[in-house]
């Protein structure tokens, strides 16, 4: 479960997206990752409090239905499906680009199709096959980040290969809050987005052995490790290079390795981001297929999505999600042939997954408040309580809401936010038009 959460969270958002957040706010991005990590810890503790009593697959959607209103469970499940299908499509497209690094002549869509078929088969075999793949994908990323932190620390303290010790003065000598309050909150929205996927702990809980013990350990250990990997790697980048130079170089990870004479650094990082893309797509198929299975159980998708194979895998759901990703990959190839602006539309659609991706966090926090009111006797001697509740709940909700407000005022994120709002609005209308009558 720890590796699944790490694999879902540590991805191209760190390897490729760090430059954007650094450009907006400079070295203070370290504070942004720390603050976002603190609130994500509170969200996971709220989820853990409920899961400890009821470890169930697709947990946060189930809790939204039980403790809030069925429409929130419906929205949470569809938000998760929307988020992960879009992420899966983008990762498959990225895989095509990464493979062209080694084989420039290969059509970009070929590796994506091969990858999605491979991951679909792996997810159909068993839950353990998904977990095994995710473990190794995550391990590759973790080892690379640790190596970068160690190499960077050597350069900072001792110098290496003709490069003198850099120290850490670059953290403040070129400015710290370089974009002011506005730039900091612009960066914070993307930082929060980079943590999306950590809630996979809640999706896998119902299929883990000894879920209570595993859950507590996974939540406690995973947050700390993610913070170390994110903050540690970005700290090293910012100490070695002035923040304004990082914005202008290629991959900061490549440059860090190249600085100490590792000439094949680009190949190393290309391999790592390739596994990061496979990891993201693997998580996409697993998480969204479990959510579609949950919708089918609630009568909100056709009954065939309830079917499981002999390994207990909801195979219709897995195949459907894989097909959705595959169609997205093919459309990305076909649409630009007829409409030149199609690639920009896809960028907006991908970015619009940020708001739906935050929906599970909102419902986790609000569901936990209701859970406490309904079950005070369980809270009294609960071994894994949400810290400082309910104050921490309200503070977390306020921070998430404030982040969305700044997304609206940022030209780069306003349209994706609106697309996310429109998606949630349409799904809400669909629920009340089609399913709410059945509840009544």
164: left (phi over 0), alpha (psi -120 to 50) or beta: beta
For the chain, the residue count is 440
Is residue 396 within 8 Å of 43, Cβ to Cβ? yes
Residue with tokens 């988020």: 83
- Cα three-residue angle 346-279-65, rounded to 5 degrees: 75
Adjacent-strand bridge partners of 160: 163
CA dihedral in degrees (34, 39, 43, 48; nearest 10)?
Answer: 50
SS3 48: helix
CA distance 368 to 357: 18
Containing structural domain, residue 232: 2-439
CA distance 330 to 341: 16
Is residue 355 within 8 Å of 420, Cβ to Cβ? yes
The token pair at 26 is: 């400079």
| Domain of residue 35, CATH code | 1.20.1740.10
pLDDT in tens, the chain (440 residues): 566 666 666 665 566 567 778 888 889 999 998 999 899 889 989 988 888 887 775 567 888 888 999 999 899 889 989 988 888 888 888 788 788 888 888 888 899 899 999 999 988 987 777 778 878 887 888 888 888 888 888 888 887 666 668 888 889 988 898 888 888 988 888 788 778 777 777 666 556 666 677 777 777 777 777 778 888 888 988 888 888 887 676 666 666 666 666 767 778 877 887 888 888 788 888 888 888 988 898 889 998 998 888 888 899 999 999 999 998 888 878 877 777 766 666 566 666 778 888 898 999 999 999 999 999 888 888 888 899 999 999 999 999 999 899 888 888 788 888 988 999 999 999 999 988 765 54
Count: domains in the chain: 1
DSSP track, 271-299: HHHHHHHHHHHHHHHHHHHHHHHHHHHTT
Q: From residue 268, give the alpha-carbon distance in Å to each of 121, 194, 273, 380.
A: 27, 22, 9, 51
The distance of Cα 362 from the centroid of its chain, to the nearest Å, equals 15
CA distance 258 to 260: 5
């Amino acid at each position: 479960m720890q590796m699944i959460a790490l694999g879902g969270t540590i991805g191209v958002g760190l390897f490729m997206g760090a430059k954007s957040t650094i450009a907006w706010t400079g070295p203070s991005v370290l504070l942004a990752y720390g603050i976002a990590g603190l609130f994500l810890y509170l969200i996971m503790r709220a989820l853990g409090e409920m899961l400890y009593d009821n470890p169930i697959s697709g947990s946060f959607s189930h809790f939204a239905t039980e403790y809030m209103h069925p429409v929130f469970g419906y929205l949470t499940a569809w938000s998760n499906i929307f988020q992960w299908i879009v992420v899966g499509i983008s990762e498959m497209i990225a895989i095509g680009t990464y493979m062209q690094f080694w084989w420039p002549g290969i059509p970009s869509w070929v590796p994506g199709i091969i990858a999605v078929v491979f991951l679909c088969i792996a997810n159909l075999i068993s839950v353990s096959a998904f977990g095994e793949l995710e473990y190794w994908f995550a391990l590759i990323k973790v080892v690379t980040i640790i190596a970068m932190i160690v190499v960077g620390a050597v350069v900072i303290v001792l110098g290496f290969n003709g490069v003198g010790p850099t120290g850490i003065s670059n953290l403040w000598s070129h400015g710290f809050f370089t974009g002011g309050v506005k730039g900091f909150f612009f960066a914070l929205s993307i930082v929060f987005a980079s943590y999306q996927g950590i809630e996979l702990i809640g999706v896998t809980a119902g299929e883990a052995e000894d879920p209570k013990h595993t859950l507590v350990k996974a939540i406690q250990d995973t947050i700390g490790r993610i913070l170390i990997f994110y903050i540690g790697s970005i700290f090293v980048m910012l100490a070695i290079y002035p923040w304004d130079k990082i914005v202008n170089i290629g991959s900061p990870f490549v440059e860090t390795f190249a600085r100490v004479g590792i000439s094949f650094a680009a190949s190393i990082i290309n391999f790592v981001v390739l596994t990061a893309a496979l990891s993201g797509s693997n998580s996409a198929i697993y998480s969204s297929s479990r959510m579609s299975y949950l919708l089918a159980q609630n009568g909100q998708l056709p009954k065939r999505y309830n079917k499981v194979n002999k390994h207990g895998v909801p195979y219709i759901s897995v195949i459907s999600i894989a097909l959705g990703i595959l169609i997205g990959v093919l459309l990305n190839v076909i649409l630009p042939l007829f409409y030149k602006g199609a690639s920009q539309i896809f960028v907006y659609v991908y970015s619009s997954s940020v708001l739906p991706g935050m929906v599970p966090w909102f419902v986790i926090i609000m569901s936990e408040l209701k859970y406490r009111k309904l079950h005070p006797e369980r809270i009294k001697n609960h071994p894994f309580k949400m810290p400082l509740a309910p104050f921490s709940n309200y503070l977390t909700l306020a921070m998430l809401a404030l982040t969305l407000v700044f997304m609206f005022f940022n030209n780069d994120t306003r349209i994706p936010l609106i697309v996310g709002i429109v998606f949630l609005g349409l799904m809400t209308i669909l629920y009340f038009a089609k399913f709410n009558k059945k509840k009544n």
